[in-house]
Chain A
């Protein structure tokens, strides 16, 4: 490689490096080691400073250099700085290599001689390596300004409105017949006690009427192809059997429909019809036909809805169809579920009628709920005492190890709502710890303390109806250790409410495959960085917001939705992004088509070309992680600037000192 003209620069980093490494000796050593290739070798106080960078640029011109090596800090700090300086000097930025003699040498080596020797070895390795570097060209990718948002809960709604208000087209895909999500089911919101529906429905209506938002309810994303800026998405539009263009939402069809089914929105505590809108404030406020219930789909008779429908909007023959859309970025806001109460038999849900889940209680206390807001037992009686059980399934290694974060607060809210309606009702909170972490939350806890709610620090192990004395007859007995007093107590109540763990949606795993992002061990979507990139995923252009990332309350969900919207708007504003250049590729002649790499690629960048019987890498999706290169049994996969010859040259350099 005699045509290489290398410039070597050893940085002092003040005393960070020079205090331990004899930098002048290292610089001299490099020049002496390869006098033909190393044209100039310098040491300088701060290479990252403007004069330091100018030194590189000037030398490139003056000495006609074509390779640059800087021995300084970690590439994470200044690789970009020096690459830019190299490019400014007039040569390809990838004809540059960095040796880390700060984090890897001066900061971690005690002996000055050993440090100097190690610095020499790393520098020589870099010199060897840079001789084999190949020139790479930067590529940019255009960003399609259209956005897909999956999930129409408060997270999806917030993000959709922010992006659409900024003038961009948004497709909002929602699985159920209406947007609103879990928040639409809640009665009040802690700690301010705003009516949940009152603050949510205006936003829902805005979504429904927004000219920039295409609402796709009763739909699911089936397939996503492409990469940041250019996704092609297949959306399954389930047959609503009602023409929403014609339908006026008058509701006559629902009145006339003879078939009843349990209403999921009311947690099956009230019936709905086969043709239905899930709740009165639904958006769109137009019905769909549940084909599993409707008699027409069973035996071809009835058609009551069609007979009474004025505008003739009923479409019995409507079929599911696939709609293809093109978007530049995606936000996943698919939300959460509550753990099923049946999975914890010790709490007797289903066995004892007066054990309620938290969501059932939300509907029970809601004035538009099945009891019109009256808190009553399943027998319709007013409860004299109610037990609220925290951490059911949460903080339990048998079920969910994590804390669900919202239960303490909504349990307090429940207590308040009960006390508001029945002042003399004894309310017991069985808790492990009170976790009131948010703004105004501790104050809300204090308010409930003042309202005279009984706080029993101890988890109820099981609910039983086995009375041991007359006062317990006909009641549900909570047996818990009052760890504050140090005694086990038996507390009979008329009603028990289970604060069940928040769990990831069962389909999250499947979604993670569709959207090429990952889920953690608990099934929540994994963020790129827990602190510094909380709404990004491993896939560029795909973001997450709300409880699909982990248990979250409404304020945090809304904040995250805003953050995800900002990330999307950032992409749209830029219009194009720089694609990774140090990507992998496959030597077609060597590939045996074993498809090992296809399975392993964390970015689903590799596809199998059945025609050629070869695997192919989509350069736009590849992040250059090198997994395929390491795994390829025939050595067909390679990564630019991480080719075998380059790595071997580096090793040779290290061993030369």
Chain B
């Protein structure tokens, strides 16, 4: 039997992580977290999370970068903003979740085996290409990357949706694509 070391050495932690998250989320109130757990108890999906939102805040403050970025929690977050509304320290927890999602995708360390980050990525790609989302394309791309055999199971439902006029095979494009690309470019540069 293999024994795993679970003790954290200070040398394994990243003391700059907190600053990074503050920068990405524009929320310096993370520092003021008093670990009350209101976020976790108000969260409707915290029971599916590997770390509760409260724990995640502690990990950010403690410099537990790897664990936080690989966490499933941020992908399970449904952005209902309940935690942000309830937080007594007024931490914008949902914004922090988004910041962690972006950082995880940028560094490519997001939790594998969860479709949500792939979905987010593909959707972002399609929109930057066409200016509008295409359900058919985003679902196909996501399924191919995460669960190709699942497509067979989903096919009948896809057909029904298609015949009812609820899904288009070729998605729409917006009229003035160059203008939107210019906009996106501007945003990227501003960042």
Query: Which A residues have a C-beta under 8 Å from some C-beta of B?
Result: 426, 434, 445-446, 449-450, 452, 454-457, 468-469, 471-472, 479, 482, 484-492
Contacts and interface: CB of A to CB of B under 8 A. Distances in A.
Given A488-B7, A490-B10, 4 more contacts: A450-B31, A487-B7, A488-B8, A491-B10
B32 A450 contact: yes
A485 B9 contact: no
A423 to B, nearest CB: 14
Contact of B58 (A426, A471, A484, A488): A484
B171 to A, nearest CB: 43
B35 interface: yes
Interface string B11-26: 1000100100000000
Most buried by A among B10, B11, B58: B10
B7 A485 contact: no
B179 interface: no
Contacts of B15: 426
A487 B6 contact: yes
B55 interface: yes
B11 A485 contact: no
B6 to A, nearest CB: 6
Nearest to B63: A454
B8 A490 contact: yes
A454 B60 CA distance: 11
Interface in B83-139: none
B16 to A, nearest CB: 12
Contacts of B9: 468-469, 471-472, 489-490
Q: How many residues of B sit at the interface, in one of the four size bands?
A: 20 to 34
A615 to B, nearest CB: 61
A449 B31 contact: yes
B180 to A, nearest CB: 40
Contact of B55 (A445, A454, A469, A485): A485
A449 B54 CA distance: 16
A491 B63 CA distance: 12
B158 interface: no
Contacts, number: 58
A550 B55 CA distance: 36
Interface of B: 6-11, 15, 18, 28, 31-35, 54-55, 58-59, 61-62, 64
Contacts of A450: 28, 31-32
Contacts of B58: 482, 484-485
Nearest to B28: A450
A485 B31 contact: no
B59 A485 contact: yes
Nearest to A475: B10
Contact of B35 (A452, A457, A479, A490): A457
A433 to B, nearest CB: 11
A449 B6 contact: no
Given A484-B35, A484-B55, A454 B10 contact: no
A216 to B, nearest CB: 48
Contacts of B18: 452
A77 B31 CA distance: 55
B55 A471 contact: no
Contacts of B6: 487-488
Nearest to A445: B34
A329 B15 CA distance: 59
Question: Which 7 pairs of residues, A with B, have the shortest CB-CB distance?
Answer: A484-B58, A471-B11, A488-B7, A489-B8, A449-B32, A485-B58, A491-B10
B10 A489 contact: yes
Contacts of B35: 457, 484
Contacts of B28: 450
Most buried by B among A469, A484, A491: A484
B27 to A, nearest CB: 13
Contact of A490 (B7, B33, B54): B7
A483 to B, nearest CB: 9
Contacts of A445: 34
Nearest to A477: B10
Nearest to B55: A485
Nearest to A447: B32
A456 B28 CA distance: 19
Nearest to A490: B9
A446 B35 CA distance: 12
B11 A482 contact: no
A481 to B, nearest CB: 10
Contacts of B11: 469, 471-472
A487 B67 CA distance: 12
A468 B11 CA distance: 11
A19 B42 CA distance: 51
Nearest to A489: B8
Most buried by A among B15, B33, B54, B62: B62
Contacts of B31: 449-450, 452
Contacts of A489: 7-10, 62
A479 B58 CA distance: 18
A485 B32 contact: no
A479 B7 CA distance: 9
Nearest to A485: B58
A484 B8 CA distance: 14
A48 B6 CA distance: 73
A531 B62 CA distance: 42
